[in-house]
């Protein structure tokens, strides 16, 4: 059915699902050739994933998810989860670290094609191998995790701990107030690298990073604090996050700190409300009331969204630059499986960037367009 291929035993002690996602992108820009380096444009497979997930012996879940975009393998979720206790679950394996609303939300669900400038700081807390404890009720969630390195850096990618808590004092299907916060630390190990880097790519394929700290050496570890809030009323929603990173440095170097934020609003032209899950503190994508059908003359759901985001990657002797951008999105939810997204992003205030425009420091960014075709199964 619309939730993909699933089977289960009569007693539901054993379940199995096979699924995946296809995300196909086109990127182009209005004034890309003015920049040095010029952005890469064209078509690309943004994500191409298969996964198997299921339940064994009632209390144990698992998921094994692989991405093949760019003809490369990337292990995504790969975990075993124990749900047999009343007061918390334990998840062992490769999983997202417990930080940031936007990071926790699936790329299938976020209302823009790419995460905001907050991800220039939070992406350090993307998936890693570790253990997570999670508690939840209908309208709150709490998670605490300890992690090693991401798979691509296994053996010398450091370690981390993080925790996220969310609460929804208002929670109906059309009216939600969500607040939350998360804090995390990633330490570099003596055997591993002592460098961190924070940056943001203007599109996933552009290879243009207006803000980019470059490699910051002698970093012993970084703390990230992230606060988040969202409010939804019928077809309208607002969502915001602010993240701040403090990186401690060794060998007498003074620490550096960076900040980033976003504020976004969304309006469902066809009236549907976004779907909120209070037990993990995340928004899911729209489910259109009237899926597209030429025969029935129905046209799915349409959504307009606007985001302002900014970051400041200048601190001490690190000049990573500052960026403020706006993104306008028009999203078409053909049905629960298919979404077509059109994003216009304009970085209108850039400081201290290593990217040049017509030979001088870029102060306004590329006006870029992204169109994505997304199907989940």
Which parts of 117-136 interact with its own copies (CB under 8 A)? 128-130
Q: Are residues 117 and 96 in contact, defined by beta-carbon separation less than 8 angstroms? A: no
Structure tokens at 243: 């993240």
Least distance in angstroms from the C-beta of 262 to its own copies: 27
Asked if 73 interacts with its own copies (CB under 8 A), we say yes
User: What is the rounded distance in angstroms from the CA atom of residue 187 to the CA atom of residue 147?
Assistant: 10
User: What is the rounded distance in angstroms from the CA atom of residue 348 to the CA atom of residue 117?
Assistant: 13
Under rule CB under 8 A, which residues in 223-242 are in contact with its own copies? Answer: none
Asked if 359 interacts with its own copies (CB under 8 A), we say no
Phi and psi at 103, nearest 5°, equal -70, -35
Least distance in angstroms from the C-beta of 202 to its own copies: 14
Asked if 59 interacts with its own copies (CB under 8 A), we say yes
Q: Looking at beta carbons only, is 121 or 334 nearer to its own copies?
A: 334
Asked if 205 interacts with its own copies (CB under 8 A), we say yes
Least distance in angstroms from the C-beta of 361 to its own copies: 23
Q: Looking at beta carbons only, is 94 or 315 nearer to its own copies?
A: 94
Asked if 338 interacts with its own copies (CB under 8 A), we say yes
Give the end-to-end CA distance of the chain in Å, rounded to a whole number.
Answer: 9
Exposed / middle / buried, residue 117 (Cβ in 10 Å: 0-12, 13-18, 19+): buried
The whole-angstrom distance between residue 19's C-alpha and the CA centroid of its chain comes to 20
Least distance in angstroms from the C-beta of 304 to its own copies: 23
Figure out which of the listed residues 58, 106, 173, 358 binds its own copies, where binding follows CB under 8 A. 58
Alpha carbon separation from 136 to 106, 166, 167, 278, 348 (Å, rounded): 19, 9, 10, 8, 41
Interface region with its own copies, contact rule CB under 8 A, candidates 153-161, 168-176, 274-282, 361-369: 153-161
Q: Looking at beta carbons only, is 3 or 138 nearer to its own copies?
A: 3
Under rule CB under 8 A, which residues in 264-283 are in contact with its own copies? Answer: none
Residues 6+ apart with CB under 8 A from 152: 74
Least distance in angstroms from the C-beta of 52 to its own copies: 6
Q: Helices in 11-139 by DSSP H: which ranges? A: 101-104, 119-122
Figure out which of the listed residues 177, 263, 292, 354 binds its own copies, where binding follows CB under 8 A. 292
Interface region with its own copies, contact rule CB under 8 A, candidates 66-74, 210-218, 275-283, 306-314: 66-74
Q: How many residues bind its own copies (CB under 8 A)?
A: 76
Asked if 365 interacts with its own copies (CB under 8 A), we say no
Nearest to 136 by CA among 183, 78, 180, 97: 180
Asked if 87 interacts with its own copies (CB under 8 A), we say no
Nearest to 81 by CA among 15, 166, 139, 140: 15
**Cα dihedral 265, 267, 268, 269 sign:** negative
Figure out which of the listed residues 30, 56, 137, 170 binds its own copies, where binding follows CB under 8 A. 56
């Amino acid at each position: 059915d619309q939730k993909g291929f699933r089977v289960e035993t009569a007693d539901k002690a054993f379940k199995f699902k096979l699924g995946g996602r296809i995300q196909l992108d086109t990127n182009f820009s209005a004034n890309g050739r003015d920049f040095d380096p010029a952005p890469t444009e064209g078509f690309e497979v943004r994500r191409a994933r298969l996964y198997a997930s299921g339940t064994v012996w009632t209390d144990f879940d698992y998921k094994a998810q692989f991405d093949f975009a760019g003809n490369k393998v990337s292990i995504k979720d790969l975990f075993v989860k124990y749900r047999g206790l009343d007061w918390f679950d334990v998840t062992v394996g490769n999983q997202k670290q417990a930080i940031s609303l936007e990071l926790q939300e699936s790329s299938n669900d976020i209302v823009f094609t790419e995460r905001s400038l907050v991800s220039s700081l939070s992406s350090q807390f993307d998936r890693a191998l570790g253990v997570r404890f999670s508690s939840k009720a209908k309208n709150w969630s709490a998670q605490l995790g300890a992690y090693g390195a991401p798979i691509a850096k296994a053996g010398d990618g450091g370690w981390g701990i993080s925790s996220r808590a969310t609460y929804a004092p208002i929670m109906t299907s059309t009216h939600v107030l969500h607040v939350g916060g998360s804090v995390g630390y990633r330490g570099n190990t003596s055997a591993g690298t002592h460098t961190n880097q924070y940056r943001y790519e203007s599109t996933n394929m552009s290879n243009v990073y207006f803000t980019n700290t470059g490699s910051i050496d002698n970093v012993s570890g970084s703390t990230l604090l992230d606060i988040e809030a969202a409010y939804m009323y019928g077809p309208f929603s607002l969502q915001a996050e602010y993240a701040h990173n403090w990186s401690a440095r060794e060998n007498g170097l003074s620490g550096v700190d960076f900040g980033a934020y976003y504020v976004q609003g969304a309006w469902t032209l066809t009236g549907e409300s976004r779907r909120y899950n209070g037990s993990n503190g995340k928004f899911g994508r729209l489910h259109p009331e009237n899926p597209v059908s030429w025969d029935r003359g129905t046209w799915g759901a349409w959504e307009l969204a606007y985001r302002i985001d900014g970051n400041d990657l200048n601190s001490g002797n690190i000049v990573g630059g500052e960026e403020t951008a706006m993104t306008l999105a028009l999203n078409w939810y053909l049905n629960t499986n298919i979404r077509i997204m059109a994003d216009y992003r304009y970085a209108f205030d850039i400081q201290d960037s290593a990217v040049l425009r017509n030979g001088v420091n870029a102060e306004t960014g590329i006006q870029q367009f992204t169109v994505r075709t997304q199907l989940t199964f």
